[in-house]
Amino acid sequence: MDLRETLRIAVRSIRAHNLRSALTVLGVVVGIGSVIVFATFGASVQAAVVSEIGQTSANSIFLTPASVEDGGEGGPPGAGIADATRPVFTGRDVTALGEIDGVETVVPQGTVRLSGVSHAGDTVAQRQAIGTTPAAFGTDDIVDGRAFESGAEEVVVNEAARTAFEQNLSVDDTVTLTLADGDRRNATVVGVADGTRGGLLSQFGPGGPQLYLPSEPFYQTSVEGTTDGVRVKAYPQVTVVADPSQTGTVAGAVRAYVPSSDAATLLPAEQTVGVQTTGEIVGQIQEILGQLTRFVTGIAVLSLVVGAIGIANITLVSVTERTREIGIMKAVGAQNRDVMQLFLTESALLGTGGALLGIPVGLVVAFGATRFAEVGFTLALDWMAFAVVVGIAVGVGAGLYPAWRAARVDPIEALRQE
Partner 1 sequence: MSQSTGSHAETQPASPAVTVSNVTKQYQLGGTVTALDGVSLSLPEGSYTAVMGPSGSGKSTLLNLIGGLDTPDTGQVSVGGTRLDDADGATRADVRGTDIGFVFQTFDLLPRLTALQNVALPLTFADWGRADRRDRAATLLDEVGLGDRLDHRPPELSGGQRQRVAIARALAADPSIVLADEPTGNVDTETGGEVLSLLDDLHEAGNTVLLVTHARRVAERAQQIVHVRDGVIEGVERLADDAPELSTTDDTTPVGGDD
Footprint of partner 1 on this chain (CB under 8 A)? Answer: 1-2, 4-5, 9, 12-13, 16, 324-325, 327-336, 338, 411-412, 415
Tell me how far, at minimum, the Cβ of 327 lies from partner 1, in Å.
8
164-170: long-range contacts at Cβ-Cβ below 8 A with a sequence spacing of 24 or more? 164/124, 164/126, 164/209, 165/119, 165/120, 165/122, 165/124, 166/120, 166/122, 167/119, 167/120, 167/122, 169/119, 170/144
User: What minimum distance in Å lies between the beta carbon of 350 and partner 1?
Assistant: 17
- Three-state secondary-structure class, residue 11: helix
**Which of residues 120 and 331 has its CB atom nearest to partner 1 in the complex?**
331
Nearest distance, CB of residue 15 and partner 1, angstroms: 8
Give the type of residue at 331: A
φ, ψ for residue 313, nearest 5 deg: -60, -50
Q: Are 289 and 46 in contact (CB under 8 A)?
A: yes
Nearest CB to partner 1, comparing residues 328 and 393: 328
CB of 335 to partner 1, least distance (A): 5
Residue 2 CB, nearest approach to partner 1 (Å): 7
- The CB-of-329 to partner 1 minimum distance in angstroms stands at 7
Cβ neighbours, 10 Å, residue 305: 12
Q: CA dist 3 to 6, 258, 312, 398, Å?
A: 5, 69, 22, 20
Cβ-based nearer residue to partner 1, 7 or 96: 7
Select 216 or 325, whichever has its Cβ closest to partner 1.
Answer: 325
Helices (H), 155-277: 159-162, 215-218, 247-257, 262-266
